Structure 1
């Protein structure tokens, strides 16, 4: 057996995506200088939790972390999937932080994936579990992931700081993804959404719904925002409320926006996170999220800013065929995704900006995960 050749990268930036691309391409990596100069150096609790999650759905992976947590050595194993798995997510990030890489791993597992994730379901920093259910799963179907067995159930809500939320994710195997030509976002035909409240009065939900509908009803008649009030164990361990909205179009696009309001959490230094300490009134939360959704629609493109990175990754992993998609202004995360895809998979996207619409068309030839394995062997 020959010596393992590790790919070396530095810093905590894109750690989640680098781990995912390492697992998909079977390229072992060493990540050095992880927050080496910070007051508290090394991996954060949510990153360690993510690494354990990768290990849980894989077989024969090797993970080594040095004493200070500033170096991570990761040799990916076989993505297995599995049934009745349970993972407790670190409370420094919400479940949405874990879901994006997990759903991609699940697609390429040897067995269908069924996993229960516990932690924070709704948070301003990461996409909510509602957004994954209403929007992200529809994007997977575009690439040929079977609709049967593709589901996300929200069994309990959980907000910061103590979480207590729980979701059940099931992902069928696809093994191969179908290339897409997806450039027409169509016209918005209806708005759907959900508000939630946990351990607080339903008045918060009424205020959010009223404010959001007040904006949308001036533009189109088909608007429906449901309520999801939780109490007792299904409400989690901390009080909070939030809203998730999605615009559906004539061409089958889903454009989303969401946020949540909670009573804050402490950061790694033990100080209260100022961003979470500032709590918007419920009416302002509804109005601002509705306005955010309209801004995403105005940008154009077939997905919102949050989903650009996932869209590009799925295109790169498609069968050896050409995919062409169109998005609005590229987000910083999307740009970083394009760089990581080129570095790990060797797939380069051609970009064609449209000055008239402000959108960008991207074209690539998918590497095909099965073709990738053959190329490496």
Structure 2
């Protein structure tokens, strides 16, 4: 269901794609078209979060013919996919590092939607670029501040404050500069299901952003979660992510590697924490599609003086340039 919705979304952003699926739905024949872009709307399936769709759009958006401006409707925050908040806080600064920036790069949350019914709405806009610049991003730097959002929809607004208090209880031991916004959406902006959760981001002096998030159990599934516990666990997850370290957090590893691959014929380096299973599979796909191999050097915790093992990824871009971008 959500996969069919994803295929429809890909069909919307491209021009001239041929997609055939057999009766049993086990094989998919796909002939890609041109990435077209433009202003679009799409209703995502409520069984997966908008993050699932947005992740792949982030990979494609810079290479469209026209700047992409798309309204996605569905579940903004769930327990499976990276939420829109996290992608807004981490993926956008990452795109800026590669030279995809400007006022038209934004993710805006108009309405929140929690599972199972959804009802959220976001706007994603991204400019097009002809070439990407290579990056040397090997020193994450020390953490200077923590920001976050605690949101609650269709529950008491106090829930958000309770989460903030318990998260600060843990994080205040490490640094004073912590600010967690509370976001309580009312009325039509709160979607169709009750729920709450929080998203925390830690920013370093060199502009690295690491994030963690948690959401409450969907209505009617699993035991009720105490907001205090959720706040504490979210803070612990953020500390775990900081321990893993690297210049890109674990949700955006694959996006960074893809943009490095598609860069100019120049060397790009990035320092990552331990590779997630998804990233490892993704590297295999990069090898089969682009015939590109990364040089992978492991840095032990002793060399780096902190956190878990790090991996230094180096590659030479394939020199991809966006041929469909209209020249004005």
TM-score by length of 2: 0.94
Tell me the residue number matched to 1:370.
321
SS of equivalent residue, structure 2 residue 104: coil
Contact 1:46–1:89 (CA under 8 A) maintained in structure 2: yes
Tell me the residue number matched to 2:256.
311
Please show how residues 1-377 of structure 1 align to structure 2 within 5 Å.
45-83=1-39, 85-264=40-219, 276-355=221-300, 356=302, 357=304, 358-370=309-321
Contact 2:112–2:119 (CA under 8 A) maintained in structure 1: yes
Q: CA deviation at 1:280?
A: 2.3
Q: CA deviation at 1:371?
A: 8.8
Instruction: Flag structure 1 segments of 5+ consecutive residues without an equivalent.
Output: 1-44, 266-275
Q: CA deviation at 1:114?
A: 0.5
Q: Distance in 2 between matches of 1:122 and 1:61?
A: 30
SS of equivalent residue, structure 1 residue 105: helix
4+ runs deviating over 3 angstroms: none
Q: Distance in 2 between matches of 1:191 and 1:105?
A: 30
TM-score by length of 1: 0.82
Contact 2:217–2:225 (CA under 8 A) maintained in structure 1: no
Q: CA deviation at 1:278?
A: 3.6
SS of equivalent residue, structure 2 residue 252: helix
Contact 1:128–1:259 (CA under 8 A) maintained in structure 2: no
Deviations 1:313-342 (A, max 9, x none): 111111111101111111101111111111
SS of equivalent residue, structure 2 residue 289: helix
